Chains A and B, each alone.
Chain A
Amino acid sequence: QVQLQESGPGLVKPSQTLSLTCTVSGDSINSGGYYWSWIRQHPGKGLEWIGYIYDSESAYYNPSLKSRVTISLDTSKNHFSLRLSFVTAADTAVYYCAREMGYCGGGGCYRQYYFDYWGQGALVTVSS
């Protein structure tokens, strides 16, 4: 059974960098065919996709956050991480890591745009 678990500070000061890690168990993050993603949910609001990382060199971000987001992969620790810089109160949210399904065939791997496993979520509050 695949499990994802977010970890990181629950309180970040304005203008600083939010950092979260998602530890994956039950599957190798290096197994291929999956897109390791971050999604957030503002309090009482809907979901917002932040971005994904496919391998150590392939990451893609929501254009609205692209200038502030970095997602990285550490295969030795079987985890991936999110960094969001220059945070403001508007970045206060529950941050989820999730696995997006991919399809591999025909010489390549392709996204399938749905998330089959999610972490429990980590509330990050931006406040001085």
Chain B
Amino acid sequence: QSALTQPASVSGSPGQSITISCTGISSDVGDYNYVSWYQQYPGKAPTLILYEVTNRPSGVPYRFSGSKSGNTASLTISGLQAKDEADYYCSSYTSTSVVFGGGTKVTVL
């Protein structure tokens, strides 16, 4: 199963909003709302920041939001902060179970 497609990098200045896309196919992202997003700092394990496209786990700031249109899901970080500099991975249900995106490095300028 091919990985979901994410941009390699996205950058923004503090306070700005950025959006990371995650493109799959109709049989994964397109047909199911089982898209989740993870934040990973260097040398650390990923942590869940969104699940089922739009839901935030307890403790995750409202600045993180999700959406989906067709075969593409998106993560938006509003009011970008220095501590948001990390790698972000999307994940989706697939017919063979779970597939991840290649990851996006977010840089805060």
Contact = CB atoms under 8 A, between A and B. Distances in A.
B97 A121 contact: no
Interface residues of B, number: 25
B38 to A, nearest CB: 8
Contacts of B47: 118
B74 interface: no
A52 B96 CA distance: 12
B34 A49 contact: no
B102 A49 contact: no
A49 B98 contact: yes
Nearest to B3: A46
A112 interface: yes
Contact of B97 (A62, A112, A114, A120): A62
Interface of A: 45-49, 52, 60, 62-64, 96, 100-101, 112-116, 118-121
